Amino acid sequence: MDYTIKIGGQAGQGLQTIGAVLAKLFARSGFHVFTHQDYMSRIRGGHNFYQVRFADHEISASRKAVDILVALDKNTVAEHLGELSPFGLVVYDSETVREKYDGENLLDIPFRQIAMDAAGNRIMENTVAVGAVLGMLGMDLETLDELLAETFARKSREVVDQNLAAAKAGADFARANCGQCNFSVNIPGLAAAQEKGAAADVSAVAPRRMLMDGTSAVGLGALASGCRFYAAYPMTPSTGVMNFMAAQSGRHSLVVEQAEDEIAAINMAIGASYAGVRSMTGTAGGGFALMVEGLSLAGMTETPVVIFVGQRPAPATGFPTRTEQADLLYILHAAHGEFPRVIMAPGNPEQAYYLTGKAFDLAEKYQVPAFIISDQYLADTEWTLDALDPSKINYQDYRLRAGDLAKLADYRRHAYTDTGVSPLAEPGASHHLVVTDSDEHDQDGHLVEDAETRVRMVEKRLLKKLPLIRDQISPPLLHGDENPETVIVGWGSTYGVIKEAVDRLGEKHSIAMLHFSEIYPFPGTGKFDYLEVLRQAKLTVCVENNATSQFARLMRAETGFVFNKLVNKFDGRPYLLEELLDELGEPGMGGPGKTSPEKGGPGMGGPGKTSPEKGGPDKPGGFGRSPKHDGSGEHDV
Amino acid sequence: MDYTIKIGGQAGQGLQTIGAVLAKLFARSGFHVFTHQDYMSRIRGGHNFYQVRFADHEISASRKAVDILVALDKNTVAEHLGELSPFGLVVYDSETVREKYDGENLLDIPFRQIAMDAAGNRIMENTVAVGAVLGMLGMDLETLDELLAETFARKSREVVDQNLAAAKAGADFARANCGQCNFSVNIPGLAAAQEKGAAADVSAVAPRRMLMDGTSAVGLGALASGCRFYAAYPMTPSTGVMNFMAAQSGRHSLVVEQAEDEIAAINMAIGASYAGVRSMTGTAGGGFALMVEGLSLAGMTETPVVIFVGQRPAPATGFPTRTEQADLLYILHAAHGEFPRVIMAPGNPEQAYYLTGKAFDLAEKYQVPAFIISDQYLADTEWTLDALDPSKINYQDYRLRAGDLAKLADYRRHAYTDTGVSPLAEPGASHHLVVTDSDEHDQDGHLVEDAETRVRMVEKRLLKKLPLIRDQISPPLLHGDENPETVIVGWGSTYGVIKEAVDRLGEKHSIAMLHFSEIYPFPGTGKFDYLEVLRQAKLTVCVENNATSQFARLMRAETGFVFNKLVNKFDGRPYLLEELLDELGEPGMGGPGKTSPEKGGPGMGGPGKTSPEKGGPDKPGGFGRSPKHDGSGEHDV
Amino acid sequence: MSELENFRGQNPAWCPGCGNLQILRTFKMAMVEMGLEPHELTIVSGIGQAGKFPHYTRCNTFNGLHGRTLPVAQAIRLANHEMRVLAVAGDGDCYGEGGNHFLSAMRRNLNITLFVHDNQVYGLTKGQASPTTDEGMITGTQPFGVLYEPLNPIALAVAMDASFVARGFSGDQDQLRGLMQSALEHKGFAFLDILQPCVTYNKVNTFQWYRERCYPVGPEHDPGDRVAAFRRALEFGERIPTGVIYRSERQTLEERIPVIANREPLVQQPFSPEDMAGELQKFF
Amino acid sequence: MSELENFRGQNPAWCPGCGNLQILRTFKMAMVEMGLEPHELTIVSGIGQAGKFPHYTRCNTFNGLHGRTLPVAQAIRLANHEMRVLAVAGDGDCYGEGGNHFLSAMRRNLNITLFVHDNQVYGLTKGQASPTTDEGMITGTQPFGVLYEPLNPIALAVAMDASFVARGFSGDQDQLRGLMQSALEHKGFAFLDILQPCVTYNKVNTFQWYRERCYPVGPEHDPGDRVAAFRRALEFGERIPTGVIYRSERQTLEERIPVIANREPLVQQPFSPEDMAGELQKFF
Ligand SMILES: Cc1ncc(C[n+]2csc(CCOP(=O)(O)OP(=O)(O)O)c2C)c(N)n1
Ligand SMILES: Cc1ncc(C[n+]2csc(CCOP(=O)(O)OP(=O)(O)O)c2C)c(N)n1
Ligand code: SF4
Ligand code: SF4
Ligand SMILES: [Mg+2]
Ligand SMILES: [Mg+2]
């Protein structure tokens, strides 16, 4: 069982509400859920959609094929009718959409009228739509009731009842009128439980899973790591984290400041950290451009700071509300001078939570800036996942506080040590002065100009710390065949779609995914010789949501390894499952022979892109061929 | 003949005047000259020096061994006495220095007293010092006379005469009292000319050479390229270019604006370029951090702009007045999103001039940002060079002006073309509107959000242009043995010292320099297969003025090639000739076996640094061993 | 010939009822009344709802970065002082991200015009506080309400001695059209703050709210008196003065830079590489 | 015990005769008079001659980037509102590169102090014009003289309703010491512009020049009257008023943020990872 529901319409029509309610409802009902959103950079109008997929097995990507299309406007029908699966249906209200469609797979349900009739209020029309979808799916409204009660907890029971009445009327109408409806949704475990005779209801049998988006996961990870200060300037797709933190600041010991600009934001984060609290800033690639100088300041003053960067298609303003993975090399090399940094690129909300924790831990332990790189796709996609465990985030206060400081006869902020890590004290907590400087400085933090101190400080700050940090980095994740003939490599938010593609293809082929989420310091091969896996493979493919295969280039710079196939997408949209399968063609067969690194010509990030072999594996759900949105061979910016 | 004169003292004591006059004088006398400076970040006091080397053969670096040390304060004696060559001498005024030294190689000349006596004015004491140096060298004052006349052209002849009297008195004193003086300076060609009987004077026989520093060379290159607009915010070591341009703005069609910050500076440069004039901005690495967002704007709007970046030791404020080459990968990858850029890293003033010209040409032709990367060392060093040729700079106006536009029926700023280069029109010069946008846009420049346009624009802006730009890039310069056993690779400002080291070592060894000054797009091997040269060599060494061998890393990312020896210096000072020779040891013998790229472990920019073999070649002038200022093996930020 | 139709651009993607729509309409009318053609004006805009403005009309356009309208606009004018340049920014754009450029532009006093579409909120990014948001307004990012004192752009401009300082209201299109024309015709840096409802995110400063408070300054107000202008500028609450609040005539920067003062624009000055041969000579 | 000797730092690298030396001396005396110990103050400075200030005394120090003193200083205060925070900047630092932060800091009104060492020039980078450089001054970068109107920091601060606005002169150490103390003791954002000769690069506004012009505002001046303060602020030329020009008492930001208002500083509030278990629950 694996269904996709897509809700399309204009900004302001409330399609996010419908999508969010359905997603939560399916999750509560024990299904695995995956959602993704697509919206334009405008507040009203335009064309947006929200796609909800749910299944009785693990899923981690969106499919192209849609089973139920909820069309809130005419445009949605026009744009997405072609995506319907063989048994797929469109549901719409001809009054709102101002069009009456013929065709067996288009179901006209008068959402607005039903809302008026059942609840006396037009604004319940979206609730009617939710009910209609449940009716079409043949699900009952028990879980919806529960959800509505929670959602409107602060309002009167009357509001809940009105909503429920609206939903029920929608469901009834759908059940009565949907001759074509041919879905079979079985709540996992429910039938079995009921057979056992118990008066089992959904909430009793369904496995308890969280439904979480990437944004919340980063915020929760920060909270669980003791983040006390968050300064930022709003910018899509990072504003969500800022708002999440702001909402928490009422309940937790956390100050959230909206800075006058991104320059102020990072300097504030650094200032707060200097003062003794864990701190963080967040922005998009364009806002990060204004933080580059501050990054260097953190590097020089060895002030821990965590920086969240939500990538979006660029250059410049680009596509503000869409997705891309084109800021990796930029973030890795940003800022003048040489100093260590940590880069985490989580692939799903679970990783986002734990790796945010790890970013804080490494930042504090080694007194370096640590990044969490995300993108609009990861920010907005929701996944079902098992309970997150706060205790799995390593929380340790590495700073010297009043108690520790009282014992010290002497304190030097930038003292030379074996590890390069100097003691980090809270200013004002004792008579010891905490002095640091953006100029080259001595152990006391005071400015100097001599060559000898410079050399020792570079050694301390950079050369000693870096290998120690590298030791903390986990190797990439190998998923699938342990001795794969084909290896699909990705990083960050492509995790889910690659994983699911590999799972599909793994049914017939020797294939595995190698996913990098801890990117810098680049993982060594000591814990797991992933290079050996790549070298043994016949076909190695690097999949990226950018035009120039930045990770492949990094891989070559770090390890010398050159992929023999590069897959790129840079239209601002994420990979859908079918698209990726299509790009991969028949793995193990297609693709050119392996190009040895020696032969890679200069000026190329790797060999030119090979045209994907024709046709994907034939799976139910109907894998259409996606339009090619990939760049041609020569590209190596 | 090859002498080094070092003038040391405090900021504000006028040592720059002494150095500059001597350098110009030696150049006018037909010698090859090379100077370099070292100063602290303060206006008065501290310790600075100016080193002038002159020889009757080509030279391109500073030596460590000093032949005449002009000490304007006590500290200079203490710091530099140990650098004297076997016949070297210190000259000082015990009254100013407030110390009387014993020792045969320390010559006390009462500069101040002589100035008072000969010219009635204490402020001529530096002129006395210049005279004294000439006296010690046994040179006559003819050329100095000429120079003084030029320098004080706007003042009265009296001032010139007073200065000359002071110089003469200094020279006389030195000649009379310098028993140890053992220098023999022969004006090239003079004796020969005089033998021929002509009443030849220096200016008649000396080859006409320019004496130029890197800063002026960049400024001149910009002027010769039709630069009309320069906006910047002061920052060492880029302020020189700004001041040079400001000085020109009175004489040429050029507006120079001091912006409120670097963000404004680059946005202004972009604005002026949009309006139709060639424009430029300049800054240091830290100021460039604030330009990163603007860089991306230039990329997206395809607005030509030239950006000068003077590197200095960082992170953050670092060492404001010193030198480093640690911003290469940063500049290469700066800014969100993917777009082409050009990077030139000249190695000497001549290259600085022509490559600035080339940067303008490529920026305009391909409508991309183009960089000139320099550093404090190149900015301040002066070289003698043959006449620069304005006509060798390709000047072509690629823009559509009133005349061209009148003929067009239709105009679209971002039209799709085969080359990816769209017509760039001057706004207001016709009825055609010039529209551009930092958002993704259509051919008209108006904002769009669809996937198809995005893909075509990325193809146009990036994928089509990049290979065309690459074709314009010259290969690296091979200097020395054509089939070298040892290749010393460098980029940017290390050109001179590597060249001279290779020339020295080339007397006994099969060795060559491979110097990269056109760095990005990374040169292909089509015009010259430099990779083959590297592969054939037994020892390949990459020399950089940074801690992490950034160029070596880039080389690996671009070509897969891995050096087997990395030499680094990151104490904020340039390589002196002896230091580099010492680092290189006995080339062709030392160094580990060649590591194949396949074997390079992950996470390494290349194999660990090998300890240099003991002892440098034994040359006159006394090559002392330099203190080791290099990082140990593991470093790959 | 200048006609409204000439200025038709993309269909606006603003919310129905948004004050930007009125500003846009008024602008087009002002252009037509002044007899200007699209290619005679260059609009530089930033990012935000206001930043989309030039796409919804037709002129030369540089739609740049958030907060960076003024540096671009000023440089265009320096490169071509025969071009009329209009910078269009949002309140976040100009007083938030771009505050430093605003300060500088007032000092530089180039002959350009600045419209700030001041809806007292960040519209495009969904309703965070801008520098002009009223104290106490609750947003997703300001859960305890805005805790800062709002920036008073008119007082600030008077303190910076900007050469033309005015305020309009999108709802008073007649006055606004006049102000736009005066600003575009003023010699020197002309700053027009336009109060504009954001129907979606600003539920405090609504159309009605502005309508009730805005009043045009009368002839008794002397825009040449800086202290009086400052006193007037401090009024923002129960009553909000509109019209020209301050005016100080002084030389513009383009009149003071020798290379371009009283000369053809930089972009039209001839160039030949040989021009600089003399400079090279100095290095021998 | 607070003693002058306690505040001795590196030997200043400023030019002999530089006004910074007087400011430094006065500051140390103020600290001793106030009975403060080095660890009780954190100095945040930028880059410039003024930025070197904290190295020449002894306190907690964050010497950050050019122009970025205020964001760092404000965040330190937010993280620890029991720490006294002093931001020290140059005129270029604060009104040039950092202008936007200056605007924001005045609105935010945290209880911190700002000294601007205003020598009306860029000292460290060798004499370019700063925002406060007089019109007409010729520099290497301004060969035709400065062509902009100088920024008036006092007028600007009054326009921004900064809660304490004062001007001192390095040459009047008695007054200056008092102003420093008042600024450090003021509750809210306290801004002190200190006129300071740069003997090397500013040959216009010399010690003598300031000495002849500076006069302390008398008791007839009411710092609580904003319009009067503005009028006074406009005086800068033949006569230059010093002393407290404007004062407006209002709540500080740290008194308004619920998490820290009337509570121990953020840096001392306890934390345990379990605190957020409840947040996780919401995702089931
Ligand atoms: C450097 C940078 N930071 C943040 C953003 C995100 N951003 C776009 S518009 C905007 C604010 C819009 O507010 P305003 O300027 O008042 O314009 P409005 O939408 O209200 O017209 C922000 C924060 C951005 N595009 N660039
Ligand atoms: C981002 C950045 N831009 C430029 C500089 C160079 N810089 C250092 S100090 C300074 C100006 C100093 O002037 P001011 O702030 O008035 O201080 P002063 O030296 O006069 O005390 C400049 C431009 C820098 N360090 N960082
Ligand atoms: S969000 Fe506000 S400013 Fe933006 S278009 Fe809608 S009403 Fe206008
Ligand atoms: S240059 Fe000016 S400000 Fe700097 S130390 Fe010297 S006198 Fe003081
Ligand atoms: Mg706004
Ligand atoms: Mg200054």
Ordered domains of chain D (ranges, CATH) = 4-281 (3.40.50.970)
Query: What 3-state DSSP class applies to B544?
Result: strand
Is the CB of C184 inside a 6 Å radius of any atom of ligand 3?
no
Does the domain at residues B2-205 carry the CATH identifier 3.40.50.300? no
Ligand nearest to the CA of B46: 4
CA of D96, nearest ligand number:
2
A234 in contact with ligand 1, CB cutoff 6 A:
yes
**How far is it, in rounded angstroms, from Cα C44 to Cα C72?**
7
Please enumerate in sequence order all residues whose Cβ is within 8 A of that of B130, keeping only pairs 6 or more positions apart, or say none: B18, B21, B22, B25, B144, B167, B170
* Burial (Cβ within 10 Å: 0-12, 13-18, ≥19) of residue B473: buried
Q: Which of C74, C103, C231 to mutate to test the interface with D (most CBs of D within 10 A)?
A: C103
Least-confidence region, from A100-114, A201-215, D33-47, D112-126: A201-215
Distance from CA of C160 to the nearest CA of A (A): 20
Residue pair C99/D104 in contact by the 8 Å Cβ criterion = yes
Per-residue confidence (pLDDT) for residue B604, from 0 to 100:
32
Q: How far apart are CA B632 and CA D180, in angstroms?
A: 49
B243 touches chain D (CB under 8 A): yes
Nearest by CB to A313, from B297, B440, B558: name it.
B440
Which ligand is nearest the CA of C67, by number? 1
Q: What is the pLDDT of residue B152?
A: 83
Domain limits, chain B: 2-205, 212-392, 402-472, 477-614
How many Cβ atoms from other residues are within 10 Å of residue B16's Cβ?
18
H or E stretch covering A231 = strand A229-232
Atom of ligand 4 nearest to the CA of D126: 1
pLDDT the model gives residue C273: 86
Whether A42 and chain C come into contact, CB under 8 Å, resolves to yes
Closest CA to C16 of A42, A64, A616, B353: A42
Q: What are phi and psi of B51, to 5 degrees?
A: -115, 125
B18-56, pLDDT tens digit by residue?
A: 999 999 999 999 999 999 999 998 889 999 999 999 999
Residue D165 CA to ligand 2 center (angstroms) comes to 23
Range with lowest mean pLDDT among B145-149, B340-344, D49-53: B145-149
The closest alpha carbon to A361, from A391, A398, A320, A319, belongs to A398
Residue D71's pLDDT is 98
* Spatial contact of D255 and D81, defined as CB atoms under 8 Å apart: no
Q: Give the three-state DSSP class for D143.
A: coil
One-letter amino acid at A589 equals M
| Distance of alpha carbon B309 from alpha carbon B343, whole angstroms | 10
Residues in chain D closer than 8 A to B256 (CB atoms): 141
For residue A211, the cross-strand partners are A384
Residue B621 pLDDT more than 70? no
User: CB–CB of B125/B141 below 8 Å?
Assistant: no
Level-2 CATH architecture, domain A477-614: 3-Layer(aba) Sandwich (3.40)
Atom of ligand 4 nearest to the CA of D13: 5
Contact between A427 and A373 (Cβ < 8 Å): no
B228 touches chain A (CB under 8 A): no
Task: Give contacts of A 443-472 with D, CB under 8 A.
Answer: 445-447
Mark yes or no for CB contact A388/D60 under 8 Å. Answer: no
Superfamily of domain B212-392: Thiamin diphosphate (ThDP)-binding fold, Pyr/PP domains (3.40.50.970)
Q: With a 6 A CB cut-off, is C200 part of the ligand 3 pocket?
A: yes
Cβ contact, residue pair A274, D61, below 8 Å: no
Pocket of ligand 4 (CB under 6 A): B 43; D 14-15, 18, 20, 49, 119, 123, 198-201
Listed in sequence order, the residues at least 6 apart from C45 whose beta carbon sits closer than 8 Å to its beta carbon are C51, C52, C53, C54, C61, C62, C63, C64, C69, C87, C88, C89
Q: In Å, how far from its chain's centre is CA B79?
A: 26
Q: Which atom of ligand 1 is the closest one to the Cα of A235?
A: 6
Arithmetic mean of pLDDT over chain B: 90
Decide if pLDDT at B153 tops 90: no
pTM of the model: 0.95
Tokens representing C119 are 């809806």
Q: Which atom of ligand 4 is nearest to the CA of D117?
A: 3
Stretch (H or E) spanning D41: strand D41-45
Residue B626, pLDDT above cutoff 70: no
Name the band, by pLDDT with cuts 50, 70 and 90, for residue D33: very high
pLDDT for residue A612: 34
Choose the weakest-confidence range: A143-147, B165-169, B564-568, C100-104.
A143-147
Q: Which of B454, B522, B571 sits opposite A313 (nearest CB)?
A: B454
Residues A232, B535: Cα–Cα separation, whole Å: 50
**Ligand in closest contact with the CA of C119:** 5
Contacts of C65 in chain A (CB under 8 A): 286, 316-317
Nearest-by-CA chain C residue for D102: C100
Question: Measuring from atom 2 of ligand 3, which residue has the nearest CA?
Answer: C198
- The CA R_g of chain A, rounded to the nearest whole Å, is 26
pLDDT tens across B413-453, in order? 999 999 999 999 999 999 999 999 999 999 999 999 999 99
Residue matched to tokens 């009443």: B199
Query: What number of CA atoms fall less than 13 Å from residue B30's CA on the CB side?
Result: 17
Given a cut of 70, the residues of chain C with pLDDT beneath it are 1
Tokens linked to A327? 């800021």
Q: Does the pLDDT value for residue B273 go beyond 60?
A: yes
Q: Is the pLDDT of residue B630 over 50?
A: no
Q: Of the candidates B222, B300, B288, which has an alpha carbon nearest to the alpha carbon of residue B458?
A: B300
Q: What is the pLDDT of residue B585?
A: 86
Two structure tokens written together for D4 = 């002058």
Residues of chain D in contact with residue C250, where contact means CB-CB under 8 angstroms, are 149
**Residues, chain B:** 637
Residue nearest to atom 13 of ligand 2 (CA): D122
User: Residue C196 C-alpha to ligand 3 middle, in angstroms?
Assistant: 9
Mean pLDDT for the stretch of residues D257-275? 94
CB-based burial of residue B599 (10 Å sphere; 0-12 exposed, 13-18 middle, 19+ buried)? exposed
What ipTM, to 2 d.p.? 0.96
Give the pLDDT score at A580.
97
Tens digits of residue pLDDT in B235-249: 999 999 999 999 999
| Cβ–Cβ < 8 Å for C173, C164 | no
DSSP strand E in chain C: where? 41-45, 60-63, 84-90, 113-118, 164-169, 190-195, 214-216, 240-247
Q: How far apart are CA A209 and CA D27, in angstroms?
A: 61
Contact C207, C22 (CB under 8 A): no
Contacts of D195 (CB under 8 A, 6+ apart): D19, D118, D119, D120, D167, D168, D169, D170, D205, D210, D214, D240, D242
Partners of C258 on chain B (C-beta within 8 Å) are: 250
Fold equal for A212-392 and A477-614 = yes
Report the interhelical angle of B465-472 vs B349-366 (nearest 10°): 150
- pLDDT higher at B635 or A233: A233
Q: How far is D73 from chain A (nearest CA, A)?
A: 7
pLDDT the model gives residue B203: 75
Of A258, A263, A291, which to mutate for an interface test with C (greatest number of C Cβ within 10 Å)? Answer: A258
Best of D141, D144, D202 to mutate (most B CBs within 10 Å, chain B): D141
Q: In terms of CA atoms, which chain B residue is nearest residue C259?
A: B253
Q: Among residues 65-94 of chain C, which lie with CB inside 8 Å of chain B?
A: 65, 68, 70-76, 78-80, 82-83
Query: What does pLDDT average to in each consecutive run of 10 residues of chain A (637 residues)?
Result: 97 93 96 95 92 97 97 96 96 96 95 95 93 95 90 85 94 94 87 73 83 98 97 98 96 96 98 98 98 98 98 98 98 98 98 98 98 98 94 94 97 98 98 98 97 98 98 98 97 98 96 98 97 98 98 98 98 97 73 35 35 31 28 28
